[in-house]
Amino acid sequence: MNKNLLSLAQLSRKEIEDLISFAEKFINDDGTFKKESLFPDKTIANIFCEPSTRTKSSFEIAAKNLGCNVLDFDTETSSLQKGESIYDTVDALSLMGVDMCVLRHSESVIHELTQYIPEMSFINGGEGSISHPTQGLVDLMTITQHKETIDDQNIVIVGDLDHSRVTASFIEGISNFDFKSLTFSGHPEMCKSFHNHPKGKYEPDLNIAIEGADVIVALRIQHERLEAQDIVDIDQYKYEYQINSERLAMAHEDAILMHPGPVNLDIEISTMVYESDQCVIRQQITNGVAMRMAVLSQYLSG
């Protein structure tokens, strides 16, 4: 069993389905999470070198629900600020007895870290624009809660796709399933790598893309990763790409709307749509804890 979760490309369909079933078992009938002291001798460090609310907090809650010791590593007051490398930082934590690092970093350092410190277990908590595997698992879990199967769905992903590690991991995960269609939509300047994509078709007109969709994944404009020349006019963007009531009505009547968060409310999604029954974004956040309990259990046992 691999003790590192670096990418969804490393998981088979069965492994994804097993993780989803495992995560469901951590949710009580009343929606609360099971608390079991399964790993009292394990210490997990959350190292988030980029901002996070959902991923970091859900990993911390998940680890505590499993009885782990959790080190909330503060990058701002750490010796990273004195120029210490991420490699020496993780090595120091390993020498102190940390068993697992959940790492978010703007660069793809996690792969080398697994070679540099092989005794440590690593979970990818977000790797630049490359990969966010646990968010992909949360998204697939949320689809299974609303659709009989992940197969046979018409899926639309809309937004700033080029900078979306969530999209990259979602595509890796969904590639294990027999989806009916996968359509990418969004401003052409934000979807340059998707104009000719092997897994789906690019449709710049969202009104066409969303027609008959079963699953819609909306994405945030990642201002922090955009170059100046990529900045788009927000009013024009909303006019063309906001998921509002009129656009949602073009999708299948039981379509679900997902978003990894954080949401720029009234930019990529209107408030009315956010508050509608078809919007499952809040459920994705809750699923984040259960899925991360499943991932931690799996990879701590690896």
Pick from 46, 55, 176, 185 the residue near ligand CP by CB under 6 A: 55
Q: Nearest to residue 52, comparing CAs of 142, 166, 146, 160?
A: 166
Q: Which is nearer to ligand CP, 136 or 186 (CB)?
A: 136
Min CB(96)–ligand CP separation in Å: 25
**Residue numbers 122-141 binding ligand CP by CB under 6 A:** 126, 132, 135
How would DSSP label each residue in 90-150?
Answer: HHHHHHTT--EEEEEESSS-HHHHHHHSTTSEEEEEEETTTB-HHHHHHHHHHHHHHSS-S
CB nearer to ligand CP: give 59 or 202.
59
DSSP state at residue 32: P
Give the number of residues in contact with ligand CP, rule: CB under 6 A: 11
User: Which residue, 186 or 288, is less far from ligand CP as judged by CB?
Assistant: 288
**Under a CB-based contact definition with an 8 Å cutoff, are residues 60 and 288 in contact?**
no
d(CA 107, CA 211) in angstroms, rounded, equals: 36
Which residues inside 8-47 make contact with ligand CP, applying CB under 6 A?
A: none
CA–CA–CA angle 165, 285, 224 (5° rounding): 40
Please state the closest distance from residue 212 (CB atom) to ligand CP, in A.
27
> How far apart are alpha carbons 215 and 80 in whole angstroms?
41
260 interacts with ligand CP by CB under 6 A: yes
Q: CB-wise, 53 or 81, nearer to ligand CP?
A: 53
Q: Which segment (21-29, 53-61, 193-201, 230-238) binds ligand CP by CB under 6 A?
A: 53-61
Q: Which among 2-10, 24-32, 54-62, 250-258 is the span making contact with ligand CP, rule CB under 6 A? A: 54-62
Non-local CB neighbours of 254 within 8 Å, separated by 6+ positions: 146, 214, 278
Least distance from ligand CP to the Cβ atom of residue 132, Å: 6
β strands within 139-197, DSSP E: 154-158, 181-185
Question: What's the closest the beta carbon of residue 157 comes to ligand CP, in angstroms?
Answer: 14
Residues that bind ligand CP (CB under 6 A): 52-56, 126, 132, 135, 260-262
